[in-house]
Amino acid sequence: MGWTTFRRDGELALATLFILVIAISVVTTLFLFREMSNFLTSALQEKVDVSVYFKESVTETEILDLKEELAKMEEIREVSYVSQDQAYKDFVERHEDEEIIMESLEEIGENPFLASLNIKAWKTSQYGTISTFLEHPSFETLIEKVDYFQRKPVIERIFSLTGAINGVGVLFSIILVIVAVLVTFNTIRLAIYNSREEIKIQRLVGAGNWFIRGPFLIQGVMAGILASLICLAIFGLTSWIVSPKIEFFFPGLNLFNIFTENLGLIFLLQFLAGISLGIISSLIAIRKYLKV
Amino acid sequence: MISFQGITKIYPAYAGCLMTVALEDVSFGIKPKEFVSIVGRSGAGKTTLLRLLLAEEKPTQGQIFFDSIDIHQLKLGELPQLRRKIGAVFQDYKLLPNKTAYENIAYVMEVIGFSDREIKRDVPEVLEIVGLKDKANNFLAGLSGGERQRVAIARALIHRPEVILADEPTGNLDPYHTLDIIRLLLKIQEMGTTVILATHNREIINRLGKRVITLEKGKIIRDEEKGRFIL
């Protein structure tokens, strides 16, 4: 019976469907954005590290001892040793094509690089603690410099940026979801307002409340299912098309992969969003017309 | 079976309209299987009376009993049970606009819980009685005023209710169909249904020779066993 009314009320059903598609799209977009920003922030944080440069007089064993000690600190995720030779090789590799730099390097005649330990923390906020530890006077004889203080502004900016992205994201998501829910609710309310006479008549000929609600709920569910299917198709297609372009700007970020990996979750999300919006809005909107 | 006790209905002042007293201290009873006509000018309170009986509106004062149940004490959830015992023909038909003539009539049977077989058996029959057999699948838009009225009548009869409320059921019918419908109502009453007919058709009332309650300005001015149309 719900289907018949759905078909006969074509225009209104189409409007409801359209609004539902938009609402579900908003939810899906937010989900994908969250996945993408998670990926980006973790990629960004991955790039952050702190290097400790040792005085030329310090021996390799002393450095490796310190490395052992550092590895025990719970803030530290990873410590890697870069010897003087390794640093030289890395530098040459990076600047092979730049003649001026290579020439000036040769002019120096000896290896100007210092041995270093490269430290990665779990969280950006932990770099402060680590460098304070390394600044301790007992290390003064060993350590030439810790580059945290040169890089501090960059690290902090990344730190505050990822924080801000998450904060704004959450706020934005909440606002968008509220707007989507309200718009959907209002559209369904209008659709049911349109049927208020019909509902009154049904009451007057003795129909029980669930008998009256039934077709509206079925309509709501059908609109929800249809809308979520449409959204799934739209998002599948767009992410497939847009994905290479995004990957061009952010290497390693594959939107289509994110989409397919989370397909089940996305489908569930869309389904739940569509159906619950349809059902709950219908139930609330119909309530006052049943009081005859 | 049905009794109105001291019913007063006042519509409060609203949007520039003055307060209206639709019914004032109306009391009467209706016995089972009775045929009662309610007559009066437009605005005398006929429709209000029927609306109150169907619990579409609440009286300002007084009680209405149906089988010794005070119907205005019923909860919203209990009203459908009462309404299923009543078949109503509304002045403005109140048919479902998105359904065909057939579906409109079948709806009442679905509401009560008749089986599909019973619906398929009874609906064409009643459509035949009101002369709309070949318009069964027309939507409301494709039916004339008189045809809609006959659909409304068919809907009121289909589930064999204990009481039929007919508010101007012949208002849009030509004399030929009017007579048919009145004969139909009489036949139904003879078969054991209470019929309450509100009308201002003088000819019908005078021909019926049944009980007539005359309303004027919300009050009962006459209640006669074999009444005539006198205003």
pLDDT, tens only, B132-156: 999 999 998 889 888 999 999 999 9
In order of A186, B128, B140, the CA distances from B124 in angstroms are 40, 6, 17
Domain ranges within chain A, ordered by starting residue: 2-44+158-290, 49-151
Helix (H) or strand (E) holding B122: helix B116-129
**Residue A2: its pLDDT value, please?**
57
Banded model confidence at residue B127, pLDDT cuts 50, 70, 90: very high
Whether A6 and A13 have beta carbons less than 8 Å apart is answered as: yes
The yes-or-no verdict on residue A196 having pLDDT over 80 is yes
What residue in A sits closest to B105 (Cα-Cα)? A205
Interface probe with B: pick from A5, A205, A211, most Cβ of B within 10 Å:
A205
Banded model confidence at residue B34, pLDDT cuts 50, 70, 90: very high
Banded model confidence at residue A111, pLDDT cuts 50, 70, 90: confident
Interface probe with A: pick from B54, B74, B81, most Cβ of A within 10 Å:
B54
What sign does the CA torsion over B118, B120, B121, B125 have? positive
**Residue B117: its pLDDT value, please?**
94
**Residue A6: its pLDDT value, please?**
60
The yes-or-no verdict on residue A29 having pLDDT over 90 is no
Of the candidates B215, B216, B219, B231, the one whose C-alpha atom is nearest the C-alpha of residue B37 is B215
- B98 CB neighbours in chain A (<8 A) are 5, 8-9, 198
Whether A292 and A203 have beta carbons less than 8 Å apart is answered as: yes
**Residue B104: its pLDDT value, please?**
94
Determine whether domain A49-151 maps to CATH 3.90.1210.10.
Answer: no
Tokens of A191: 């659709």
**Residue A206 is nearest to which of B77, B95, B112, comparing CB atoms?**
B112
Gap between the Cα atoms of A139 and A133, Å rounded: 9
Q: How far is B128 from chain A (nearest CA, A)?
A: 22
Q: Which single residue is written with the structure tokens 């007057």?
A: A204
Give mean pLDDT, residues A153-179. Answer: 80
Question: Mean pLDDT, chain B, as a whole number?
Answer: 90
User: Mean pLDDT lowest for which of B33-37, B200-204, B209-213?
Assistant: B200-204
Helix, coil or strand: residue B180: helix
Give the amino acid at B65: F
Of the candidates A219, A215, A135, A115, the one whose C-alpha atom is nearest the C-alpha of residue B103 is A215
Give mean pLDDT, residues A3-22. Answer: 75
For B210-228, how does the pLDDT look when each residue is reduced to its tens digit (9 = 90+)?
999 999 999 999 998 887 8
What residue in B sits closest to A9 (Cα-Cα)? B98
**Residue A204 is nearest to which of B54, B76, B110, comparing CB atoms?**
B54
**Residue A177: its pLDDT value, please?**
82
Most confident of A31-45, A103-117, A158-172, B16-30: B16-30
For B73-126, how does the pLDDT look when each residue is reduced to its tens digit (9 = 90+)?
999 989 999 999 999 999 889 999 889 999 999 999 999 999 999 999 999 999
**Residue A7: its pLDDT value, please?**
62
B interface with A, Cβ–Cβ below 8 Å: 54, 56, 76-77, 79-84, 86, 88, 90, 94-98, 107-108, 110-112, 155
Q: How far is A244 from chain B (nearest CA, A)?
A: 49
Whether A84 and A115 have beta carbons less than 8 Å apart is answered as: yes
Q: Is A100 on the interface with B (CB under 8 A)?
A: no
Gap between the Cα atoms of A197 and A112, Å rounded: 89
**Residue B88 is nearest to which of A204, A290, A291, comparing CB atoms?**
A204
As a whole-number percent, the residues of chain A with pLDDT over 90 amount to 7
Check CB contact under 8 Å for B83 and A203: yes
Of the candidates A86, A102, A198, A165, the one whose C-alpha atom is nearest the C-alpha of residue B103 is A198
What residue in A sits closest to B95 (Cα-Cα)? A201
Whether A267 and A235 have beta carbons less than 8 Å apart is answered as: no
Banded model confidence at residue A100, pLDDT cuts 50, 70, 90: confident
**Residue A5: its pLDDT value, please?**
62
- SS3 readout for A10-61: HHHHHHHHHHHHHHHHHHHHHHHHHHHHHHHHHHHHHHCCEEEEECCCCCHH
The yes-or-no verdict on residue A166 having pLDDT over 80 is no
Give mean pLDDT, residues A197-211. Answer: 91
Question: Mean pLDDT, chain A, as a whole number?
Answer: 83
Most confident of A191-195, A287-291, B118-122, B129-133: B118-122
Compute the half-sphere exposure of residue B175: CA atoms within 13 Å on the CB side of its CA. Answer: 2
The yes-or-no verdict on residue B15 having pLDDT over 80 is no
- B81 CB neighbours in chain A (<8 A) are 206
- B96 CB neighbours in chain A (<8 A) are 198, 201-202
Q: How far is B183 from chain A (nearest CA, A)?
A: 24
CB-neighbour burial class of residue A24 (10 A; exposed 0-12, middle 13-18, buried 19+) = buried
Examine the predicted complex and report whether its ipTM is higher than 0.90: no
Give mean pLDDT, residues A119-138. Answer: 79
DSSP β-ladder status, B163-167 and B194-199: parallel
As a whole-number percent, the residues of chain B with pLDDT over 70 amount to 100
Query: Does residue B39 or residue A160 have the better pLDDT?
Result: B39
- B106 CB neighbours in chain A (<8 A) are none
Gap between the Cα atoms of B174 and B170, Å rounded: 8
Give mean pLDDT, residues B58-87. Answer: 92
Gap between the Cα atoms of A178 and A176, Å rounded: 5
Most confident of A45-54, A81-90, A267-276, B51-60: B51-60
